[in-house]
Amino acid sequence: MMNKDFAVIGKNVPRIDSIPKVTGEARYTCDLKLPGMLWGAILRSPHPHAKILRVNLERAKGLTGVRAVITAEDVPQNRFSFIQALADKNIFCREEARYIGDEIAAVAAVDRDTAEEALQLIEVEYEPLPAVFDPEAAMAPDAPRVHDRENNIVYEFHKSFGEVDKAFELCDVVCEDRYLTHQLAHCCMETSNCIAQVDSSGGLTLYVNTQAPHTQRQELARILGLPIGKIRVVNSNMGGGFGSKLVMDMKGPIAACLSMRTNKPVKIINSRQEEFSTAKTRYPYIMDIKVGATKEGRILSRQARVIVDNGAYNDKGPSTLSFASMMFNVLYDVPNTQFDACLVYTNKQFGTAFRGFGNPQIAFATECQLDDLAKRLKMDPIELRMKNLNKPNSMTTHGARITSCGMQECMEVSAKAIGWSEKRREPKKFRGIGMANMVHSGAGSRYYGFNSNDAFVKIADDGTVTLITSALDMGQGAQTTMAQIVAEELGVKMESLKVLTNDTDLTPYDLGSYGSRATFICGNAAKLAARDARKELVFVAGEMLEANPEDLVVKNGVVHVAGSPGKSIPVAEIVQYSVSKKGSSISGRGHFVDTLASGADITAGYLTHIPTFAFATQMAEVEVDPETGKVKVLKIVAAHDTGTAINPVSAEGQIEGGVVQGFGYALMEKLSVKDGRVENISFLDYKIPNSGDIPDIETILVETEDPDGPFGAKGVGEPGLVPTAPAIVNAIYDAIGVRFKELPVTPEQVLKALRDRPR
């Protein structure tokens, strides 16, 4: 059972960055103005595929106020990708452009208007080449080649457990369907941007809104051919990430090259149109899914064949595919599974990480199909899932170690909250309820062979506690969570905490804030650092109080002898004494290494990569207007297994934010791409949920206390999005009896389905 005597863990502590943000005091990269700073702008290809025959820069160079104009001829030719073995992207196109938006040239000028005018003066002669936009068509032997290679299949993934075909023969009911999802924009309120500054010693500082400063530092060094020690990455406040700012894009190296050319700081900011038309997207999936069960509802076999539209270049596609397959194999106790996938080049803007990391796509398909299986079995969808649920303290047949698991409780409490039994028993016309479960990593992954972190705590002589951590805050409240962990472990008040996170010259190496890993990995390191500092603190306090350090209690910033609260001394006085009398400051270091389960082999890896799993159930109630086809979501209940909720209100906020994104994924959002060109390049045309669309959201935290997480916690950032779309689509099916297998489900599609359905 969880410790109910926590001072700050489990409390609704206000976020430590809340006041600066609501008052406008917080500074973002786009707010920074450095002395002598120039504006950068990028010329991009207007063609989805074309040879570059000639580039003439003379008119642009002659424009008053222009300080530099560069192309591929002026920059290093090192190729880049997140996975270096698949590197295929240069800073600028040299001979071919491969999507509308590919970088051709860049300018630096005294102001933004001059930089934009200079772009218009660059003359480029193109020879259009055949292009391909559909991933299935791109797989054909005679399809146009996006890159100079044998075919457009850039990566294949195959994983099989058990005897899938034989198991299907034993099934009484088999369902097989195709499901489609499309490209989505991240829609961060802050567009992608950076400032590069080269100093007199040749050192490069990049001010950027990134989720992974240390890996971006490595990426910059790789593509620019610079020593890592010459590069510093400084992260400001971030106006949203959702995976879009995890891997470097070309603005960073372009700004750096312009700064090197001019010896001035150079700022580049995406316009909103550029963000929609050139920034990386969620990967579209084509999924052929098959599932089979006995008449009693025991699922014996599942199979997935997946085609992923990679776009023109490589980024997170292979990792996303691998993760999606993991979640496909873990969700429910299915002994026989098979996952086969291809990642395919097309002449479109390319994909990257997006909240859920491939899991929302696969969850949409599998959870919708599970409802169809339940119908064919004449079984309640909850009953079918209960017969196959994951259980705590178990090992799956695929090698996944499940520690804490609240799946059963999530289903039970969400069903009660939405009135599942009553509403299924007494349905109303054009109203329906649906559900979906999900599994996700609650602690990132050991994909790189490690999943570790360091943290440092120092206590000043006024009692101020400074935590140096790599847990980057991109709006999810990581700084507050880390502060709560340190305050609890050290025994001080939250008001005494300061958190430093944003500079690679200051913070220890870390893989970044993504994959719901920060609370688990960085939180454990912060806890260990606080514990180390506490040892020093009570040792000195024991000398001052003439007491055994083991008998001392630290609480609310005061150290006292257990059982004798009157015999006490404030933390500040202890530090002052230690510094002035002993010549020693008080600090602590925490080093957390996420180790594999005994006997696991990281080279075999796969499901042993995931340290712990988070589970959730979401249920949706909808009403369909038969005259317009509009789907109104009346209520969503989101029951999530969070381990110990470090800050319940923050966890609820994360889940609610994920639900809203999932709502948009289900019913609204899709980049409209015609012949490689994005047509909806503003919020007027690309629809996301607004305050009037959002339904009543009831969030339920199921606290299972993970044995390996800090104070029992595990990650909650990504899971809120994953089951929302299938829950809504299943509710639509319950309301009108029509199964939609493509996202988003628009009013036009609903109206057509209502008109076409059998009477």
Give 674-694 pLDDT, tens digit per residue: 999 999 999 999 999 999 999
Q: Is the pLDDT of residue 389 over 60?
A: yes
Looking at the fold, whether 468 and 336 belong to one and the same domain comes out as: no
The count of domains in the chain is 3
The pLDDT of residue 301 is 98
DSSP-assigned beta bridge partners for residue 344: 153, 309
Determine the Cα–Cα distance for residues 432 and 438; give it in Å rounded to an integer: 21
Beta strands 173-180 and 193-198, pairing class: unpaired
Percent of the chain scoring above 70 in pLDDT: 98
pLDDT at 597: 47
Does residue 202 sit within a domain? Answer: yes
Q: Answer yes or no: do 633 and 528 share one domain.
A: no
Residue 23 lies in a domain: no
Domain-embedded: residue 536? yes
Phi-psi map region of 743: left, alpha, beta (phi>0 left; psi -120 to 50 alpha): beta
Which pLDDT band, with edges at 50, 70 and 90, does 516 fall under? confident
- In this structure, are 538 and 650 located in the same domain? no
pLDDT of the residue at 4: 62
Is residue 182 in a domain? no
Q: Do 490 and 557 sit in the same domain of this protein?
A: yes
In a domain, 163, yes or no: no
Whether 495 and 483 have beta carbons less than 8 Å apart is answered as no
The predicted model gives 404-428 an average pLDDT of 96
Does one domain contain both 539 and 586? yes
Q: Are residues 752 and 712 in the same domain?
A: yes
Q: Kindly state the average pLDDT of the residues 145-155.
A: 97
| Strand partners of residue 620 | 434, 636
> What's the pLDDT at 599?
44
CATH of the domain at 228: 3.90.1170.50
Our CA dihedral for 311, 312, 314, 317, rounded to 10 degrees, sits at: 10
Paired residues of 289 in beta bridges: 177, 304
Q: Domain of 103?
A: 32-129+189-240+245-278
> Is the pLDDT confidence value at 604 over 80?
no
69 and 212 in a common domain = yes
Same domain, 430 and 293: yes
Token digits for 757? Answer: 């359905």
Do 410 and 437 lie in one domain? The reply is yes
Report the candidate in 421, 477, 503 with the shortest Cα–Cα distance to residue 651. 477
CATH number at residue 457: 3.30.365.10
Distances (CA, A) of 331 to 165, 334, 736: 20, 8, 28
DSSP β-ladder status, 452-459 and 586-593: antiparallel
Point out the domain boundary residue: 593, 621, 645. Answer: 593
As a whole number, mean pLDDT of residues 410-432 equals 96
Q: For residue 601, what pLDDT is reported?
A: 44
For residue 11, is it within any domain? no
Across the beta sheet with 96-97, the strand order is 96-97, 50-56, 123-128
Over the Cα atoms of the chain, what is R_g?
27
Same domain, 456 and 440: no
- Give the pLDDT of residue 566: 83
